[in-house]
Amino acid sequence: MIRRIVSTGWPWAAAAAGAALLAIGVTGILDQSTFNVVIGGLQAIGVVVALGLGAATLRRDSYDRRVDRTLALNQEFMTGAIWLARRRLFAHIKSLAADPAMGFQVITREQLRRDPQISRYRDGEGSPEDDVDLMMRFFERANAQRVTAVVELPLFAELLGRHALWWDRAIVADEQWITRLSLAAMGTWFERFVHSTSGLHPERRAWLSGVEKDFPSQPAS
């Protein structure tokens, strides 16, 4: 309703109404007591409209801030050190698979630390364990913003949720691995979000297809 009032030029209507009231007051069509009642009623309506417009503006500003935070997280994930770490880790995990078309090998924290093949990159640049830790720290920050609802959740799911689920499948959970708990929470939330909204948005089911293809032994529930 508020948007309709704004879009139809309510300031002009308000000006016209004010002019009409002024004319009524000057011409004396209404007696003074009736005129005062009309003025009081219109003032009350004006207050309600002003409050409604203020609330609509606040809601819009809140939405814009949530979108901005979501896009900022995605920008961080897709650039810089985290982007490089993701690329190295993905290539590394892919190289471990006997046949990537049949799915990728999952890795454990113990393997990241001690396995002679998994704990180091073939080119010697960087460390898989360090890259995983960098990503876990990112998912900690992202999940904290999800839990506190300061991001726009549908956009958050579309841009970051499927990545969280993919890495949640690729790296085996460990109850003692505290920094990994946020990744697990994001992955679980993302699956539930897709399933709970796929009735109205069936296209979201495709967001799980990459995970199901790359980790067929751990199908998305």
Kindly tell me the burial class for residue 27, based on how many C-beta atoms sit within 10 Å of its own C-beta (0-12, 13-18, 19 or more): exposed
Residue 123 shares a structural domain with residue 17 = no
Contact 159, 94 (CB under 8 A): no
What domain count does the chain have? 2
Please check whether residue 70 lies inside any domain of the structure. Answer: no
Residue 52 shares a structural domain with residue 137 = no
Please check whether residue 123 lies inside any domain of the structure. Answer: yes
Joined tokens for residue 117: 């093949």
Please check whether residue 69 lies inside any domain of the structure. Answer: no
Does the CA dihedral 79-176-129-191 come out positive or negative?
Answer: negative
Structural element, H or E, at residue 155:
helix 153-156
DSSP assignments along 34-96, one per residue: HHHHHHHHHHHHHHHHHHHHHHHHHHHHHHHHHHHHHHHHHHHHTSHHHHHHHHHHHHHHHHH
Q: In this structure, how many other beta carbons lie within 10 angstroms of the beta carbon of residue 215? A: 19
Residue 90 shares a structural domain with residue 44 = no
Please check whether residue 18 lies inside any domain of the structure. Answer: yes
* pLDDT category of residue 3 using cuts at 50, 70 and 90: very low
Model pLDDT for residues 21-66, shown as the tens digit of each residue:
555 555 656 566 775 666 666 666 665 666 565 655 656 778 999 9
Name the residue with higher pLDDT: 50 or 117: 117
Model pLDDT for residues 167-209, shown as the tens digit of each residue:
999 999 998 999 999 999 999 999 999 999 999 999 999 999 9
Residue 163 shares a structural domain with residue 195 = yes
Segments forming the whole domain that contains residue 112: 78-214
Residue 52 shares a structural domain with residue 105 = no
Q: In this structure, how many other beta carbons lie within 10 angstroms of the beta carbon of residue 75? A: 12
Residue 90 shares a structural domain with residue 31 = no
User: Cα–Cα distance between 110 and 6 in angstroms, integer?
Assistant: 61
Please check whether residue 72 lies inside any domain of the structure. Answer: no
Name the residue with higher pLDDT: 5 or 10: 10
Give CA angle at 186 (185, 192), nearest 5°: 90
Residues 6 or more apart in contact with residue 198 via CB below 8 angstroms: 204, 205
Residue 89 shares a structural domain with residue 49 = no
Please check whether residue 13 lies inside any domain of the structure. Answer: yes
Residue 92 shares a structural domain with residue 183 = yes
Q: How does the average pLDDT of the chain come out, rounded?
A: 84
Residue 84 shares a structural domain with residue 190 = yes
Residue 24 shares a structural domain with residue 127 = no
Residue 117 shares a structural domain with residue 204 = yes
Name the residue with higher pLDDT: 58 or 129: 129
Model pLDDT for residues 83-95, shown as the tens digit of each residue:
999 999 999 999 9
Contact 164, 157 (CB under 8 A): no
Please check whether residue 116 lies inside any domain of the structure. Answer: yes
Identify the residue whose tokens are 């890495």: 167
